[in-house]
Amino acid sequence: EFAEEWIIIRTSWLYSEFGNNFVKTMLRLMNERDKLNVVADQYGTPTYAADLAEMILVILECEEWKSGVYHFSNLG
């Protein structure tokens, strides 16, 4: 009702060299412990924050972008 043009970007397991995230935590714990315990019922694709930022710029610079929900994550 209030916004005629909008974008929602969905991603998963965001990581970068800055701040705390799952990837950095796992790397740190591998150096501190002989054994790691992690859940086996959650799946996701780690997404590099710089890649997400680049994709956001592509959307915003595109003259024909449309309002909607966008999904983005890295492969593998």
Read off the pTM. 0.76
What is the b/e burial string over 18-53, where b = at least 16 CB atoms within 10 angstroms of the residue's CB? eeeeeeeeeeeeeeeeeeeeeeeeeeeeebbeeebe
Residue 16, C-beta contacts closer than 8 angstroms, at least 6 positions apart: 48, 49, 50
**Residue 52 has what pLDDT?**
97
Sign, CA dihedral 76-58-54-21, equals: negative
**Residue 76 has what pLDDT?**
66
**Residue 57 has what pLDDT?**
94
pLDDT, tens only, 4-61: 889 999 999 899 999 888 888 989 999 999 999 988 998 888 899 999 999 999 988 9
